[in-house]
Each structure stands twice: as C-alpha cells, then as structure tokens.
Structure 1
Amino acid sequence: MTTTARERIGAFWDTHIGAWLSGEDPMPLPLPKWFESYKGVGQGKPTRDGFPEPYHGDLLGRVHTPRMVVLGLNPGAYCPEFQSRNGIFAMEIHEYGSYSNWQTTCPYNRPVWTDVMGGNRYYQARLKFTRNWLQDSTASHRDLLIFECYPWHSKSITAPLRPPVEVMEEYVWEPIAELPVQDVFAFGRPWDAVAQALRLPLTAELGSGGTDYGSKVKSRAVRIYSLPSGQRLLVEWHPGFAGPPSPEETKILRRALLGAATGEAAGPITPRPRTGPPNASILVPGEQP
C-alpha cells in the first residue's frame, strides 16, 4: 500500500516528537540543516527546550480533511508550563498517543490554554478568515491546517527565515499538494521574503505596486506565487498589519481570484513580474497559533 506524503510526514513528526518527549534528544536528517537555517539572537534565539510544532490541525484527515491551509512563521514563544517535557501539552500528547492525534483537538484554542494564556487572537483571526473565504459560517478548526516555516519556538523573529528549499518541498509543499485546496495563504510581508528565498515563481502582483483589484486599502499588497504542485501561494499584507484581511476585504480578494459566488470569472489577473533583489530583512514578532 502506497504511503501518502501526509502519512509520511505525520509519522516522521510523531516519531521525532515522541522520542523527544521520552527524554531523548534526536535530530535526524534533515532537522539539523533546518534548525540552522534561522540565526535569531536575543529574544529571537530559537530553543529546543520545548517540543517542535511543525503544523497545527488534522494533517492526516483522521476526523476531517482540512479545506484551508495557512502558513505561519514559527510557533512563537516557548511556554515551559505547556511545552516542556513535563508540560501540560506534553502530558496530553502522551495521553493521545501521538502529536498528530493531539493536533486534531485544537489545543491552542481550548480552555486548558486559553484559561491561562487568554484568548488566542492569532488562531481566531485565521479561523474567522477560513469561514469568510470558504463562505461557510459553520467551518471549524477541523477545516483549518497551519504549517510553520520554522518549527522551533522563539519569542520573536530577529533574523531572516531561509528554510532549505528541499526541506520545504518535502515537509510542507508535498503534504499540501494532497489537500483539496487551490490557494494557500500567508499573511505578513516577511512571507514575501521567504517565498523569494525559496525561489517560488511570482505569477501576479495585486494591490500596492501591482494590478488594482478593488481593495479599499491603498497600501494592501497581494503577491501570488506558484507552488511546485501548481497550487497558488497568496502572500497578503499592508504596512503595520500581519493578519488576515477583514470580511469585506476577503470578499473583494475572493471575487478577484475566484469570481463571484456563481462561479463566474472576475476577469483575468495580469501577471506582473517582480524586479529587484529579495527583501529578506523584514522582521516581526514570533507567532503563537
């Protein structure tokens, strides 16, 4: 029986995280190269004191196949109370039997986390975007899958993220290629630098500096890159904000890319090649899903 990319990657992380939680300190290939690809210092220095978190959601579709994929930068600040070997979440992973099983429970949006850390604005914003984009108010955490560019924790990002191309291909793009999504979303300008560092082909540039698609925010930019699978990576941002667009702006972008709810095309998007060197120096605080 053929193993899918999602099964292969899920099994890799289940084995790795399981060994780490048991007291081992494994770093099988290609993790050393991935870990060294980010050189954060100070509050941005990555730690291995907590278990890595490469994705959030039901990767294997054990309960429900995700209908939305969003990319994050990294899992955010390390919280020993939850993410150490003796932390609350470490104990939960043991109880559920694996990281992949545990991730189907939406751990960062449950009371065990929110009662201590407060409401999770990062996750709630992406879940709201999922509902708006899918035009389905009933969409839940089971519909949303988040992949991290860099799976280790740090309080902030203080250096460029330059993940190895071959690692992203195997551990992120290949699993995403198996999902029933046309578009993959990344919010915040740093992802534009990551996309260029990964040498993804830019196929269109909308909004600020590109084709006007009707956004009410003049500074909003949307860059569309092609993934190896043929799926589209949509990187969206405007100055001072790295979250998903509002419901109104989501509707405008959706109409521009997918057409109206009737399925009628909204007109062609004219490709606009980007010129100039990649901007890989834009830094933002680390993200907590």
Structure 2
Amino acid sequence: MSARAEVVQFWDGEIAKWVNGDHTLSPILEQWKNSYQGRGQGAVDLSVFPEPYGGVLNGETPKLIMLGLNPGAAQPEFQGLHGSFTNQIRSSSYSEWAETVPYASAEWEAAKGVNTYLRNRVTFAKRLHADERVGADRLLFMELYPFHSSRVTASMHIPSAVLERFVFAPLGEIDSEFIFAFGKPWQRVAIMLGLGEGEVLRAAWQTPSREARLYPLRSGQTLIVMSQSGYAGPPGAEDTSKLRRSLNFR
C-alpha cells in the first residue's frame, strides 16, 4: 500500500469513529495532540473533528500543494458532532468529503461569506500555472497539526516519525516539484523540522519585504516558504510572475 493510500485509510477510519461518537484518540494521535500545548485562544478544541488535509490526497496530481500549521478555529455548526459537515462525512467518508471543496460550498458561503483564504490560493495557483482553468478542486492542503485552535500560541514539537508518516511520505509520492507554505512563522517551523535556514530565492520583488526561502526535502521536492511583513498569504500578480521566472516554472 502506498503512503498516500495508508494515510487516507487511517484518517477515514479515525474520523469515522469520531463522527459516530467515539472520541477516543488512538495512541499516535494522542502523541500528536500532546506535541502542541497552546493556551487561551491557542488551546486545542476537541469538540470538532480533526482535519488533517483538504483536497484529493490519493488521486490526480494537484496543481498546488500547500502546508498549513493547523486547520484553524473550530466551527461547531459545521464540524461539531451534529454539524452539517459531520453529517456529510457520516454518510460517506472523510476522504470523499475532503475532495468536495466544502469550504467553498454554497452552504459555507451562505453562513460565512466568500472564503478569501481559499480564493487567494486559487488565484495564486492560476497565476503560477498561467492557467485560468485551475480550480479549488485541484489544490491540496496538508496540515502539520490536524487539531483545531483559533490561534497557534506555542511551539509545535511534533515527532519526526509522525510527520514523516502522515505528511512528508505521502506528499513525497506526488509528482510535484514544489510544496508551498506562507507566512514568516514557517521559517521557524522549517528549523524545527531540521531543514535549516534555507536558501533565499533572489528576485526583484515588487513588495520590498517579500522573501522566499527554499528548503530541499528528502523526497527531492522543495519546500518554498514565502513571507512578507504583516501578511501570511500568497503573493500578488507581479510577484507571482517573478516567482515563476525565478523557479523556471513550467
């Protein structure tokens, strides 16, 4: 079984237990949960199901792979035991639900408005590939820490074996040269992951505070961490064009 298939199978089983009322964590998930000890707004919220990834993990090659620190603030009306997303998973599986781009659904947008987080990343993918046909369904999001919290207020000390099994091994099977992460905190995370300080990508950025650092991964892929002052999202049109040229992106 491939690493991707194994991870999909694992999470389908664990989240099926959760949506059916069994909230006992397996030993490896308990270990993962305890690797972060945020307080206040950073406290872990276990009243909603964990979200390890979004998109198609074991299928068609995504147009863009992005890492996140964690899935963000809990939304109990969607992700709680009686939430609408939970009901959808209960009648199918987590992997099937994750492929439907639920956070761009009419139901989500009626309650929360347009998902600018997702929209900005779709726009970035279109510009990066110079292809307006790229849609949200061709993006893959993978979280370093699968449990929800409103903020991240403490360091993560995730065991390397956990990250290898659940994050980097499955992503390493995907035929994609680059993996992206956005925001300056990712530079600290890269050091935590043993990737060092990375190589600064030289480009005449339109935004003066823009920085892109390259971190080679064991898979042969490259993690690209992009940051600018006061912003933790993808670059705009001009700097994406400069990124394409600097990477010889095709």
* TM-score, normalised via structure 2 length: 0.96
CA distance in 1 between partners of 2:12 and 2:200 (Å): 38
Q: CA deviation at 1:42?
A: 0.5
- Which one of the candidate residues 26, 33, 36 is aligned to 1:35? 33
Structure 1 partner of 2:98: 103
Q: CA deviation at 1:233?
A: 0.1
- Which one of the candidate residues 218, 227, 238 is aligned to 1:248? 238
Q: CA deviation at 1:29?
A: 3.2
CA contact under 8 A between 2:206 and 2:238: conserved in structure 1?
Answer: no
Q: CA deviation at 1:100?
A: 0.1
Q: CA deviation at 1:39?
A: 1.1
AA matched with 1:29: P
CA distance in 1 between partners of 2:53 and 2:105 (Å): 17
Please give the per-residue CA displacement for 1:68-94, whole angstroms capped at 9, x wherever unaligned.
Answer: 101111111111101111110000112
Please tell me whether residue 184 in structure 1 is matched to residue 190 in structure 2: no
Describe how 1:144-223 pairs up with structure 2 within 5 A. Answer: 144-206=139-201, 212-223=202-213
The 1:44–1:23 alpha-carbon spacing in structure 2 relative to 1, beyond 3 Å, is: same
> 1:30 is paired with a residue of what secondary structure?
helix
Report which of the two has the higher share of helix. Answer: 2
Describe how 1:1-289 pairs up with structure 2 within 5 A. Answer: 3-61=1-59, 64-95=60-91, 97-206=92-201, 212-258=202-248
CA contact under 8 A between 2:61 and 2:176: conserved in structure 1?
Answer: no
Q: CA deviation at 1:203?
A: 4.5
CA distance in 1 between partners of 2:209 and 2:61 (Å): 35
Q: Quick check: which has more Rg, 1 or 2?
A: 1
Percent identity of the aligned residues? Answer: 40
CA contact under 8 A between 1:77 and 1:155: conserved in structure 2?
Answer: yes
- Which ranges of structure 2 fall in alignment gaps of 5 or more residues? none
CA contact under 8 A between 2:20 and 2:90: conserved in structure 1?
Answer: no
Report the RMSD for the aligned CA atoms in angstroms: 1.3
- Runs of 4+ that moved beyond 3 A: none
AA matched with 1:225: Y
- Which ranges of structure 1 fall in alignment gaps of 5 or more residues? 207-211, 262-289
CA contact under 8 A between 1:65 and 1:142: conserved in structure 2?
Answer: no
CA distance in 1 between partners of 2:67 and 2:83 (Å): 26
CA contact under 8 A between 1:202 and 1:226: conserved in structure 2?
Answer: no
CA distance in 2 between partners of 1:258 and 1:27 (Å): 44
Please give the per-residue CA displacement for 1:119-156, whole angstroms capped at 9, x wherever unaligned.
Answer: 11111111111111122110112210000111111111
